[in-house]
Chains A and B, each alone.
Chain A
Amino acid sequence: MPYILPTDALVWLLVAATAGYVLYCRRHPHLAVPWRRVFQSPAAMASVVVLAFYVTIGLLDSLHYRPQLENKSGEQNAYATEVLSLLDLGLAHLRGRSEKTYSAPLATRSYAKEQVELPGGRQMRDFPRLRFGGAHLKDETEWADDVSRRALAGFGVSLLLCLLVVLAARKLQGRIPDIPWSAAAAALCVLLLLAGSAIALCTVYHVLGTDKVGQDVFYLALKSIRTSLVIGTLTTLVLLPVGIALGTMAGYFRGWVDDVIQYVYTTLNSIPGVLLIAASVLMMQVVIDRHSDWFSFAAQRADFRLLVLCAILGLTSWTGLARLLRGETLKLSQLEYIQAAHAFGVRSGRILTRHILPNVSHIVIIAMVMDFSGLVLAEAVLSYVGVGVDPSTNSFGTMINAARLEMSRDPVVWWALATAFTFMLTLVLAANLFADAARDGFDPRVRV
């Protein structure tokens, strides 16, 4: 049975809004030109490919359903209280095959020693074979052969796909010459090669090892992507309306409206960010605990907490955008065309939406893409402080938090941390590079 969590609905709403915005931009050259300039940067094209890869996984993970339980005849259909997504369906073999505890990437034996029974009936402490990782191997000496064979097979298939990608890029380059397709193709090829080997290996091994309770780390990392994207995007959904409305109003109306809005944002700004967020989250935590009847199962509660976290992050971080917009609107409202609109008797609301808003939209876009990476990083810190997402939600923050204590083990359990690091760095780096290109494309000072 399909099941829509509140964040799912908002995520898809955001997708629809983005699609609408893209169509709108295509029709309006004053927006199409700066976007085109953004995509002319090779770094931006490469990061768009990486971001698209993350977004695809995130979207697959945003289509939820509740699996049907096996029911006895005559009874009504019963559904599990567990909520799964399409991504879970695709990665069913990763989700289901959990070990007992840690195991290193591609390992065939567990990290911890256990009492094992020898064929002769004696017992001894040894590293037991994993239940799933490399279980198909009769003889462990074949391990190196098997791994390289599978990795090469995956690599080979990806190589063929890469060839197609390169050909397609050539073709596109001929048709639309000013966009650096080769950068996009290169990024896509790297992703394909990595993904190909990983997919070939992950059917029988734990490519990135397992965590404390034996869950596949690769699966956890893929599941964490959605949380990061939700926090990075839904927060701006809260932040934008508040920031835009208050910022432009303060700059346009001036007088007491400006005073009040400035007072509100100075007050909010003066509280150190983490503390304000922590205080709000702690309070929401009490509310959630008090109204446990709002939620019929755990996934709903975790999702609600994620949503509330986005709202709190949004409501505490609109001040920067509002200040920028206030300054810009102050400048704009002195210009002749606004004066002319006044003289024609255009109402204030209309001047704000028709004449001011389009002219500050570049600031909004720059702020939105710049905020994204900061929010993804903030999630990890907040989860460490204990005011982040629900502990049952997969996120990079919870992954780091669980893994950081294991660095003191001997031998070191490095894989969970390294995985979170790589996935997060890739996402944030791509977002930062894209944000840079967007800023250069939309900044009126660099117009050529």
Chain B
Amino acid sequence: MLAYIVRRLLYAIPILIGVNLLTFLLFFVVNTPDDMARMQLGAKRVTPEAVEKWKAERGYDLPLVWNSAAASLFDKAGKTIFAQKSAKLFVFEFGYSEDKRDIASEIRERMWPSLALAVPVFLVGLAVCVTFALLMAFFRATYLDLWGVVLCVAMMSVSTLFYIIGGQYIASKTWHLVPISGYATGFDAFRFLVLPVVIGVISGIGASSRWYRTLFLEEMGRDYVRTARAKGLSETVVMFRHVLKNAMIPILTGAVVVIPLLFLGSLLSESFFGIPGLGSYTIDAIQSQDYAVVRAMVFLGSVFYIIGLILTDISYTLVDPRIRLE
């Protein structure tokens, strides 16, 4: 088990190097720092001096991968954009954003509001979707099931943007239940988080419930279920004691992969509701074309994804004793 985890962690290294190279290619080779400077400085006619100054301030005035002007071999490889900007991501040194703030400390700070929104959405969403799917599976092949599926498909077909805009309009503007947007620390945050959580859960119901329903139905066609029924167990007992337990295996292991990504928060909800988390940080960075922040978030995202994959493998062994990791 331990050996397996270590091997998986080692396997993560080439992937992270790949992500790093890809972002390096996108951010520095497809577009040279000169282009970025011109883009950031805005005007079409920027003086070369201004470009040089911009680059020097951010440390982009180095050669891309090989500094032939440097004295030692160490500096030849080290005093480059690749080493200074891309390779440093590996040790979680993200550098500074356009407004001269340390990205790493910013991320540490903004992580908590993100989690405060994403964790309840994840947990409540899972509970609601499983319940809904279980209901549909219990009443399978009835009108309740049919209309449940129709409702799921209809809910899937609505863009998340509409859920957010509609929810804000109804709950905040018409009924004045909660503030439209904003955030507070401590228990005050509750007021601000209720609506985003509810909307986050609702917008996820369609796709997840339908998927869970097929998992339940698949499980209900198995032989052990028939045996349980043949023993004379009631349908409720069969559902809760046999089907639910076994169907939870794919549901839970499927959910595990997104747990680390909860740190990154939700792009849309956070920016609509003005929650100062990592999601809104990312959107702001994209909109103001702050490449250092985007680069950091890309790297962080893939780190979390890989952690999620490893957690998924481990969770398989925990819930299903038949699986052994070699």
Give residues in A with beta carbon < 8 Å to B: 263-264, 266-272, 274-276, 278-280, 282-283, 286-287, 289-290, 373, 377, 380-381, 384-387, 396, 400, 404, 407-408, 412, 417, 421, 424-425, 428-429, 432-433, 436
Tell me whether A272 and B15 are in contact (CB under 8 A). Answer: no
B residues 1-48 near A (Cβ < 8 Å) are 14-15, 18-19, 22-23, 26-27, 30-31, 35-36, 39
Tell me whether B39 and A289 are in contact (CB under 8 A). Answer: yes
Closest-CB distance, A61 to chain B (whole angstroms): 21
Known contacts A380-B161, A385-B286, A407-B173; decide if A287 and B30 are in contact (CB<8 Å): yes
Tell me whether A429 and B306 are in contact (CB under 8 A). Answer: no
B residues 159-215 near A (Cβ < 8 Å) are 159-162, 165, 168-169, 173
Q: Does B136 interact with chain A (Cβ within 8 Å)?
A: no
28 residue pairs from A and B, CB less than 8 Å apart? A264-B18, A267-B15, A269-B305, A270-B15, A271-B22, A271-B298, A272-B305, A274-B267, A275-B282, A279-B23, A279-B294, A279-B295, A280-B26, A282-B286, A282-B291, A283-B27, A289-B39, A290-B35, A381-B160, A387-B286, A400-B161, A404-B165, A417-B165, A421-B158, A428-B159, A429-B154, A432-B157, A436-B153
Tell me whether A275 and B18 are in contact (CB under 8 A). Answer: no
Tell me whether A270 and B306 are in contact (CB under 8 A). Answer: yes
Closest-CB distance, B151 to chain A (whole angstroms): 12
Q: Which residues of A contact B294 (CB under 8 A)?
A: 275, 278-279, 282
Tell me whether B305 and A385 are in contact (CB under 8 A). Answer: no
Q: Which residues of A contact B15 (CB under 8 A)?
A: 263, 266-267, 270
Tell me whether A377 and B35 are in contact (CB under 8 A). Answer: no
Contact with A along B253-274 (1 / 0, CB 8 A): 0000000010010011000000
Closest-CB distance, B168 to chain A (whole angstroms): 8
Q: Does B289 interact with chain A (Cβ within 8 Å)?
A: yes
Tell me whether B291 and A429 are in contact (CB under 8 A). Answer: no
Q: Which residues of A contact B78 (CB under 8 A)?
A: none
Contact with A along B284-311 (1 / 0, CB 8 A): 0011010100110110011001100000
Q: What CA separation (Å) do A283 and B35 show in the bound complex?
A: 10
Known contacts A267-B19, A272-B261, A381-B160; decide if A386 and B286 are in contact (CB<8 Å): yes
Q: Does B283 interact with chain A (Cβ within 8 Å)?
A: yes
Known contacts A270-B302, A278-B294, A283-B26; decide if A424 and B159 are in contact (CB<8 Å): yes
Known contacts A267-B22, A381-B161, A387-B286; decide if A432 and B156 are in contact (CB<8 Å): yes
Q: What CA separation (Å) do A287 and B268 show in the bound complex?
A: 27
Q: Which residues of B contact A278 (CB under 8 A)?
A: 286, 294
Q: What CA separation (Å) do A272 and B262 show in the bound complex?
A: 12
Tell me whether A381 and B159 are in contact (CB under 8 A). Answer: yes
Q: Which residues of B contact A274 (CB under 8 A)?
A: 267
Closest-CB distance, B180 to chain A (whole angstroms): 8
Q: Which residues of B contact A407 (CB under 8 A)?
A: 165, 168-169, 173
Tell me whether A385 and B39 are in contact (CB under 8 A). Answer: no
Q: Which residues of A contact B153 (CB under 8 A)?
A: 429, 432-433, 436
